[in-house]
Amino acid sequence: MDSFIQEIRGLFGKNEDFFLLQDYVSDAPVVLLGFKTLLDLTKTKSVLYKNIESMLSAGKSSEEILFNIGEVKEKDIKMATSTLLEGKLIILIENSKKYIVFEPVPKSLNRSVQSPENENVLQGALNSFTEDIDTNIGIMRKQLITTDLFVQSFTTGKNQKRKISLLYLESQADKDLVRKIVNRIETNLDMDINNMQGLTTLMGFSSWEAISKFHTTELPFQAVHLLNKERVVLFVDQLPFAFILPNFFWDLFAMENDRNFPKPIMIAIRAVRVIGILITLISPGLYVALVAVNPEVLQIELALSIARSREGVPYPALVEIILMLLILELILEASVRLPKSIGPTITMVGGIILGQAAVEAKLVSNLLIIILAATTIANSTVVSFQNSVSIRVFKYVVVLLSAIFGILGLVAGLVLVCAYFASLNTFGFSYLYVNLKKDEMNG
């Protein structure tokens, strides 16, 4: 038996879905190799025979048919292995140093383009990215009908091969940024990427930063908009969203979909998001500061009202608010993990019944429930779920400093958060960078 076939059989022979079949192509003996779970063998053979029949009717010789049904390659075990794992059909010519790669009829393993699941859209396109990287690139090309769009692909991973594609507009993207990204990818081609943390490590970023270096979106029109604003887009096979570099602070508030409204409405929507992030960061810390450290700042009527609402509460304001914030985090996490049929029920039980019971049991004050409800709602106004999770972390820093230093600690906490934002840098671009020229051109 051919040593090439023996090596392939040694690698994949124990897999039940691997096939190795003897056949004939235009009277020439060949061996068909592939995976039944990646290609439809029956339909693929039908297409193969139809191609052969059409060539025979055109008067081509057996040798011409054999070397025109697919891509001819020299025998290379590493290349052949990669080809098989990509779902291709290999036609091995007996007593030859060559084999043919035939494009098969693939198994339908990817979902079709659907509405976005994690980002709601008002008055905008309702398609979203899928797990198939080629489909995602096709969606982008359909929306960006231009010769300026450039796609560069890489295969990464030592044990698990993954395809990464880099998209950018040659006339718009920063050439230095593109060069740095390509260098990072090419330097770490042997790294396995299974998730966003893996991609972060591949790009040389720290995985301990609270704010991601990537702006992620599953909305094609948002990715196209950011490409036009000198950004670059990364797609990773089997991850159904786009990674946009670099990520900026303004991405918390601005979406391309906002421009489907009149300009005054667009400005009002974005102002609401800015107010939302301020409420999220300030209101819990302000409650602790005014109740526990600086009650003299309040008017006497308001101070007495707050004191009456906390009458009988056995815990200090810090313990009270941390306890309720943690319960809210548990409710939010549970609503994400549970099936959609019972998720709203858990949210109702946790948000209404549990909150009311805690107030009646004198474990927390009425005012705190109002503040936490406002904080949770305000936190959800920012663009992208990932951004809202990051902001949720910072409010704990502000609360702790407010409990120690009062109003001064609240201000210090906000200054620390702003300083952290200012310290973030992605390939030479500050997180607080705003391209005013581009914004004026678009708006």
**In the chain, how many domains are there?**
3
Residue type, 272: V
- Cα separation, 345 vs 108, whole angstroms: 36
Continuous segment of H or E residues that includes residue 307: helix 300-309
Tell me if the bond preceding 295 is cis, omega within 30° of 0.
no
Model confidence over 120-136: pLDDT tens digits? 787 777 888 988 888 88
Q: Cα(first)–Cα(last) distance of the chain, in Å?
A: 69
Question: What are the φ/ψ torsions at residue 34 (nearest 5 degrees)?
Answer: 170, -175
98 and 156 in a common domain:
no
Asked whether the predicted pLDDT for residue 110 surpasses 80, the reply is no
Banded model confidence at residue 157, pLDDT cuts 50, 70, 90: confident
Continuous segment of H or E residues that includes residue 437: helix 436-442
The listed range with the strongest mean pLDDT (41-45, 410-414, 426-430) is 410-414
64 and 93 in a common domain:
yes
Give the 3-state secondary structure of residue 148.
coil
> What are 432's two structure tokens?
């607080």
Contact yes or no for 403/286 (Cβ under 8 A): no
299 and 411 in a common domain:
yes
208 and 92 in a common domain:
no
Banded model confidence at residue 354, pLDDT cuts 50, 70, 90: confident
Average pLDDT of span 25-33: 82
304 and 174 in a common domain:
no
324 and 238 in a common domain:
no
407 and 264 in a common domain:
yes
> What are 111's two structure tokens?
């979902």
| Domain presence at residue 437 | no
412 and 267 in a common domain:
yes
Q: What is the pLDDT of residue 170?
A: 87
| Domain presence at residue 440 | no
| Domain presence at residue 388 | yes
Tell me the pLDDT of the chain averaged across its residues: 85
294 and 190 in a common domain:
no
Model confidence over 182-225: pLDDT tens digits? 999 999 988 888 888 899 999 989 888 889 899 999 999 899 99
Which range has the worst mean pLDDT, 170-179, 266-275, 378-387?
A: 378-387
| Domain presence at residue 252 | no
Domain extent for 12: 3-102
Q: Which of 300, 279, 320 is nearest to 403 (CA)?
A: 320
With tokens 């995985």, the residue in question is 207
| Domain presence at residue 23 | yes
Q: What is the pLDDT of residue 411?
A: 95
30 and 174 in a common domain:
no
Tell me which DSSP letter residue 215 carries.
E
Contact yes or no for 406/289 (Cβ under 8 A): yes
| Domain presence at residue 111 | no
Q: What is the pLDDT of residue 223?
A: 92
| Domain presence at residue 375 | yes
Contacts of 263 (CB under 8 A, 6+ apart): 443
Average pLDDT of span 386-396: 87
238 and 267 in a common domain:
no
- Cα separation, 402 vs 357, whole angstroms: 27
- Cα separation, 175 vs 383, whole angstroms: 28
Tell me which DSSP letter residue 252 carries.
G
Q: What is the pLDDT of residue 109?
A: 66
Predicted TM-score (pTM) of the model is 0.77
Contacts of 33 (CB under 8 A, 6+ apart): 5, 8, 18, 19, 20, 80, 84, 89, 90, 92
Asked whether the predicted pLDDT for residue 181 surpasses 90, the reply is yes
Task: Sort residue 155 into left (φ over 0), alpha (ψ -120 to 50) or beta.
Answer: beta
Asked whether the predicted pLDDT for residue 440 surpasses 70, the reply is no
Asked whether the predicted pLDDT for residue 73 surpasses 80, the reply is yes
Banded model confidence at residue 438, pLDDT cuts 50, 70, 90: low
417 and 308 in a common domain:
yes
Which of 196, 225, 247 delimits the end of a domain?
Answer: 247
> What are 314's two structure tokens?
């056995």
Continuous segment of H or E residues that includes residue 73: strand 71-74
Q: What is the pLDDT of residue 113?
A: 77
> What are 25's two structure tokens?
């192509």
Which of 102, 120, 143 delimits the end of a domain?
Answer: 102
Q: What is the pLDDT of residue 441?
A: 47
| Domain presence at residue 344 | yes
Average pLDDT of span 162-177: 90
One-character DSSP codes across 271-296: HHHHHHHHHHHHHHHHHHIIIII-GG
Banded model confidence at residue 437, pLDDT cuts 50, 70, 90: low
Average pLDDT of span 28-46: 87
- Cα separation, 236 vs 238, whole angstroms: 6
Alpha helices in 240-384 (DSSP H): 263-288, 300-309, 317-337, 343-348, 354-360, 366-379
Asked whether the predicted pLDDT for residue 443 surpasses 60, the reply is no
